[in-house]
Each structure stands twice: as structure tokens, then as C-alpha cells.
Amino acid sequence: MTGAELWTTAAVFGPLLASLVALGGRPAALKAGLLLGSVTTLAGSLGLWLQVLQHGPVRHLLGGWGAPLGIELWADGFSVVMLAVTALVGAAVSLYSLSYFGDLSTLDAETSPAGRAARYFVPLWLLLWSALNGIYLSADLFNLYVTLEILGLAAAALVTLAVTPRATVAGMRYLIVSLVGSMLFLLGVALLYTEFGTLALEELSAAAPGGPMAATSLALMTVGMAAKTALFPLHAWLPPAHAGAPAPASALLSAVVVKGSFFILVRLWFAVYGGGSEAGLVLMGGLGAAAILWGSVLALRQRSLKRVIAYSTVAQLGYMFVMFPLLAPEGLGGPDPRWSDDAWIGGILLAVSHALAKASMFMAAGNMSYAVARDGLRDISGVAHRLPMSFLAFGLGGLSLAGLPPSAGFVGKWLLLREALSAGGWFWVAIITVGGLLTIAYVLKVLRHALDREASDGDFRPVPRRMEWAALLLALASASLGVRATEVFQVLLQGGVQPWT
């Protein structure tokens, strides 16, 4: 087995195996599953990272069969970065979930709701992890469809682990949106296959899809993925679902699950379709801009902690779509459009930064509501003085989101701005800037309540240290990534925007 094969196998099948282990249901099985999943994905992503950095994109034919029937795994810089971020977030969330549901060794899975939640959470999460890694490493459309479907089902199930009616409804709505999205995607796949007779991304890319059928299929897949990514105006399912889920699930959903469909979108638009059409890119950017504004404004108006963060996800996802028009600053004319490295690195850095920061913020928020047993902004008054580490984590996460140094968000925004300014795209400049300010405003709103000392005399339930550390470590990673963004830069250039040309 070559290195690449080993690492890809570890990344995809490690968590799957772990999920099976965790199905055992006993605390030891849950712990073993989490450990196995974290270790295999961390090792797999690190190994692949080095591999890709040194040798460029790598491929792995599962079982030795080639297309069309064999399953091919394929990794370039983009895959590896997403894989690594997911591994980081996943490891932290795994650590977090060890304590979130209570002491696993004393939990009675049969009678206590927390025990039941824990028993479902761990295998579901590991399954989800495997699916996500599968998405990042998929080389063909059908594979993407299957992993996407698993991802959607597991994610929706995670939301419903929270027992409140609100969360249940939100989870159901999420499931429906997700299934409809998958159907749209599958329809698009069908059309593509009809037209080109292949599903392998590389071959499709070589065919340079064009014409009405290809356009329709791209439109269908885009709508489907946009619904799953909660791109404005298809975002409405997200806030109740992400806010309603248990904290570790919220962290996963907001940080990495939406990135799965985002990953597919980027692959489709740029790797397969060579950028699609200019108007289409601007439309995506415009939707992203609208998402930034609308999500931020609504985040500002929320009165519960997790809702603020959930709406913030809507807004931050907008940034990743603002990347779309900036990627091709000189238009798509000609066979080989000049892709902008600035926009590419900047956009992906923002995605990475958002993933780390959002996970830490949801975990920190989980700690705060864990301590006060409530979730309203007014209920967490004074929590900064009781949970300084969680508060710090939230603050650091917030500053990453807002794109303040030393976070990767700062470097990412700098690069995006540089591209926008070089291209004279003042609209994008304004959106990026205003979005950052609105981010500050809603993060500040939470900090303000947390800092309020006058009302800090309620009952506090002690928060396990492990949960605080998980949030803080991730926040620190997100806040300090900017200093070493060059690592991400190097690996992202392996393959780049359009890896098959």
C-alpha cells in the first residue's frame, strides 16, 4: 500500500470503522470510537497534506478497479486543507463531546435522555465524519452523491438529538431541505451523464461542459448544493437547526457540514465547469453579498446566544461565495482563464478560519449555556467572570470571524480585498468591509452581555475543564493561523482552482 492509499483509506474508512465500534453503545465503545476516528483522520490528513505538498495531487483506486465502476479517491490541495480542518475541528468536538453529555462511564443509556443522546451522537458523528472525508476525496459525481446523502441524513439526525420541539422541527426541516437538495443534485448528475457519458470529474473537466444541458445541470446542482450550504436566500432552515442542536452538533454543522456542500460547489464550478459563466459567478457573488448583509443584520437582532452564532454562519458563508467572481478577475474568455491566487487562497483561508472559529464559538456558547442552563443573551450576563476561558474562546473566535489579526481571517480578507481592488471591484470591497464590521457588532453584542458584571449572581453549574479547553484550543488555532498562512498557501497551490488543466 502506498502512502497515499494508506492515508486516504485512513481518512475515509477510519471514522467509518470507528462508527461501527461506537455502535456498541457502551461508554468504552463510545470513547474508543471517538479516539479511533480522531486518530485516523488526523493521521490521514497530516499524511496526505505532506504527500500532496511534496508530490502534488494524488489518486487512489479503491480495490484496484478504475472508472467507471471502481471507486476512485483523489486528493489535491483543496481536499487536503478541508480534510485537515475537519480533522482538527472533529478532534476538538470529539474531545468536547466526551464531557458534554455527562460522565460517559456513569451514564445509563436506557433511561437518561443524555445517555441516549450520547449513544446516538457518537456513531452518527463518526459516520458523518467519514462521509465528509469521502466528499473531499471523491473523484466522481456519483460517489459525491452517496457521501452527500449520508452526510445530510447524519446531520439531520444530529439536530434531532436535542429533545425540544423546536429543535425537532428544525431537524425535520433540515432533512427535507437536504433530501430535496440531493434530488436536485442527482438530477443534475443525470443530465450531465446523459450529455457526456461519464461521471468522473476529471473526464468531465476535459470535456469542458457547455451548452444548454450542461448549464441546466449546473443550475440544478448549484441550487441543490446552495440549499444544503444555506446560501441566501435558501438559508432559512439553518438558524433554527444549528441553534437547536446540542452544542457539539451545532459546532460540527456550522463549522464543517456546510463546508461539504460548499466544497462540491467549488469543485463543480471551477474544476469541472471551468468557472461556468461570468454572469453566473457574479450572481453567486451577489447572493453571497446578500447573505453577508442579511445574515449579519439578523444576527444582530437575535436574543439568544446560539441564534446569533447560527445567523453568523449564514453571513460568513456569504464570504465564501464572494470569492466566486473574484477568482476570475479578467473574465473567463479564452481556454485558460487566469485564476486569481489571491482570491483562491483568501477565500479558502476564510473558509478554514470560519470552520475553526465557528466550532470554537459554538462550543464556547455551549459552555455558557451549560453553566446557566439557558441560552438567552440576557441569561448569560456576567458569564465572562465565571468562565473566563470560554469567554476568551468566544472572543478569539469572534475576532477570527471579523477578520482581525492575527487570525487567518485577516490574511484572507487582505487577499480578497487585494484582488477586489486590483480588479476595481468596489462593490466587493464594500461588502467585505461592511460584513467585517457587522460581524464585530454582533460578536460584541454577545461579549457585552457576557461581561456585564451587575447581573452575574445566578446559579452556575460548573463546566468540565475539558469542554473549556476544547473550545479554547480551537479558538487559539483559529486566531493564530494567520501567522502561518503560508503553509495553507503552499498546499492550496497543489492543484489550485482548476486541478485538471
Partner 1 sequence: MEGLLSVLLVLTWSFPLFVALLWTSARLRGAGLQLAPFAALPGLLLALLAGGLPAPPEVGAPMTEVTLPLLFTGVDLVLDGTGRSFLLFTSILWLAGGLFARAYHATDVRRGRFFLFFSLTLAGNLGLIVAGDMLAFYLFFALMTFAAYGLVVHAASTEALRAGKVYIVMAIVGEVLLLAGLFSLGGTFGGNPAFGAQLESTWVDLAAGEGPTFGGAAVALLLASGLGVKAGLIPLHLWLPLAHPVAPTAASALLSGAMIKAGLLGWMRVLPAETPLPEASTVLLVTGALAALYGVVAGILQDDPKTVLAYSSVSQMGYMAMGTGLLVAHPELAPWAGVALMLYAVHHGIAKGALFLSVGLADRVPRGDGDRARWWILGGTTLPALALAGLPLTSGALAKNTLKEGLGEMGGTTYSVLEVYLPLAALGTTLLMARFLATLWRRREAADPGTRAFLPFSYGTGTLVAPWAALVLLGAGGMAWLPISVDVPANVALPGPGAEVLVGLLPVLVGAAVGWVVWSRSRDPDRRGLLPEGLAGARVPAGDLLVPVEAVLRWLPLPNQEEWVESLERRGRRGRARMRLAARQLDRLAARDVETVNGTLLGVILVALGAGLVLLLMG
Partner 2 sequence: MDVTPLLAWDALPLAVVLSSFVPGVMIMFLKEEQARLRNSLNMAGAVAKVALVGLMLQGVAGGASYEWALEVVPGLSLTLRGDALALLFVTLSAVLWLVTTLYAIAYLEGSANRTRFFAFFSLCVTATTGLAMAGDLFTFVFFYEALTWATYPLVVHKGTPEAIRAGRTYLYYTLGAGAILVVGAVWFQVEAGTVQFAAGGVVDATAVASGPITWAFIFAFLLIGMGVKSALFPIHGWLPTAMVAPAPVSALLHAVAVVKAGAFGITRLLHSLFGIEVAWEMGAAVAVAALAAFTIVYASVRALSQDDLKKVLAFSTVSQLSYIALGVALLDPLAHVGGLIHLVHQGIMKITLFFCAGLIAQTLGVKKISDMGGVARRMPLTMAAFTVGAVGMIGLPPVAGFISKWYLGLGALGAGQPWVIGVLLASSLLNAAYFLPILRTAYFDDPDPSWARGAEGPRPRLEADWRLVLPAVTTAVFSLAAGLLAASSWSPLGWAILIIEQGVL
Partner 3 sequence: MTSLDLYVWAGVVVFLLALHAVVTRAHLLWKVLAINLMGTGVFLILLAAPARRDPMVADPLPQGMVLTGIVVAVAATALALGMALRVMARTGSPFLTVDPETEEPDPDAPEPPR
Question: In the complex, which residues of this chain contact partner 3 (CB under 8 A)?
Answer: 68-69, 142, 145-146, 149, 153, 156-157, 160, 163-166, 168-169, 171-173, 175-176, 179-180, 183, 186-187, 189-191, 193-194, 197, 199, 302-304, 307, 374-376
Q: Which stretch binds partner 2 (CB under 8 A): 15-23, 79-87, 258-266, 477-485?
A: 477-485
Instruction: Tell me which residue of 245, 381, 363, 356 sits closest to 303, measured CA to CA.
Output: 381
Q: Is 172 in the site for partner 1 (CB under 8 A)?
A: no
Q: Is 12 in the site for partner 2 (CB under 8 A)?
A: no
Q: Which stretch binds partner 2 (CB under 8 A): 37-45, 85-93, 328-336, 377-385?
A: 377-385
Query: Cα separation of 422 and 414, whole Å?
Result: 12
Q: Is the dihedral of CA 475, 384, 298, 415 positive or negative?
A: negative
Q: Is 18 in contact with 135 (CB distance < 8 Å)?
A: no
CB nearer partner 3, residue 31 or residue 173? 173
Query: Cα separation of 138 and 59, whole Å?
Result: 10
Cell of 386: 465565571
Q: Is 110 in the site for partner 2 (CB under 8 A)?
A: no
CB nearer partner 1, residue 10 or residue 291? 291
Q: Is 283 in the site for partner 1 (CB under 8 A)?
A: no
Partners of 292 in the beta sheet?
Answer: none
CB nearer partner 2, residue 286 or residue 436? 436
- Find which of partner 3, partner 2, partner 1, none residue 298 binds, CB within 5 to 8 Å per kind: partner 1
What is the contact mask toward partner 1 in residues 228 to 247, using x (rule: CB under 8 A)?
A: -----xxxxx-xx-------
- Find which of partner 2, partner 1, partner 3, none residue 437 binds, CB within 5 to 8 Å per kind: partner 2
- Find which of partner 1, partner 2, partner 3, none residue 163 binds, CB within 5 to 8 Å per kind: partner 3
Query: Cα separation of 139 and 85, whole Å?
Result: 20
Beta carbon of residue 212, minimum distance to partner 3 (angstroms, whole number): 14
DSSP state of 62: G
Query: Cα separation of 58 and 76, whole Å?
Result: 7
Query: Cα separation of 89 and 82, whole Å?
Result: 10
H or E element, residue 73: strand 72-75
Query: Cα separation of 235 and 249, whole Å?
Result: 18
Query: Cα separation of 204 and 161, whole Å?
Result: 40
Query: Cα separation of 299 and 315, whole Å?
Result: 8
CB nearer partner 2, residue 291 or residue 417? 417
Beta carbon of residue 291, minimum distance to partner 1 (angstroms, whole number): 12
Q: Is 301 in the site for partner 2 (CB under 8 A)?
A: no
3-state helix vs strand vs coil in the chain, percent to 5: 75, 5, 20
Q: Is 159 in contact with 229 (CB distance < 8 Å)?
A: no
- Find which of partner 3, partner 1, partner 2, none residue 440 binds, CB within 5 to 8 Å per kind: partner 2
Binding residues for partner 2, rule: CB under 8 A, are 345, 382, 384-385, 388, 392, 395, 399, 402, 404-406, 410-411, 413-415, 417-418, 421-422, 429, 433, 436-437, 440-441, 444, 447-448, 451-454, 456, 482-486, 489
